[in-house]
Every structure is written in C-alpha cells, then in structure tokens.
Amino acid sequence: MFDVYLSKRRDLLVLNKGFPIPLTATSVKWRKTRKRVFSVSEEIRAAIERQGYYVRRVDEFKMRTE
C-alpha cells in the first residue's frame, strides 16, 4: 500500500506506507489524503523503488499534456 500526499498547489507525493516524508520535499506543506492506494502505475512504482518516493509537480504535468 502507498500513502499519497497533496500540497496546496496540488503537487503529488507518493510514499510506501509508513515511510516519512523525505527531506528534499519538506520545503512544501503536504497533507495526507484519506484514500488508500493499493496499486500505482509502473512509472511511480519504479521511482519509489529507485529513490524511495515519487513527486509530480503540477507544472510538469501541464507541460507533458501540451
């Protein structure tokens, strides 16, 4: 299972359940969503295995869709 956090700017942070928020992401205030997430995409799963967390910024998502 995974914990999902959102920022006020709607940035997304995904961690393995029970892991602390990484120091690189502490400059933003995160709030935990109430929904449980049992599965994630392969991209997110690979990032979590590689670096321990996955962060997606809103502006990066907008650039991908344009």
Read off the pLDDT of residues 11-58 as tens digits, 9 standing for 90 and up. Answer: 899 999 989 988 877 778 999 988 878 889 999 999 999 999 999 987
CA nearest neighbour of 14 among 29, 27, 28, 1: 1
pTM of the model: 0.78
Question: In whole angstroms, what is the distance from residue 44 CA to residue 22 CA?
Answer: 16
Question: In whole angstroms, what is the distance from residue 65 CA to residue 58 CA?
Answer: 11
Give residue 4's pLDDT: 93
Quote the number of domains for the chain: 1
Which spans in the chain are helix H?
Answer: 42-51, 58-65
Domain that holds residue 45: 2-65
Q: Give phi and psi for 54, each to the nearest 5.
A: -135, 130
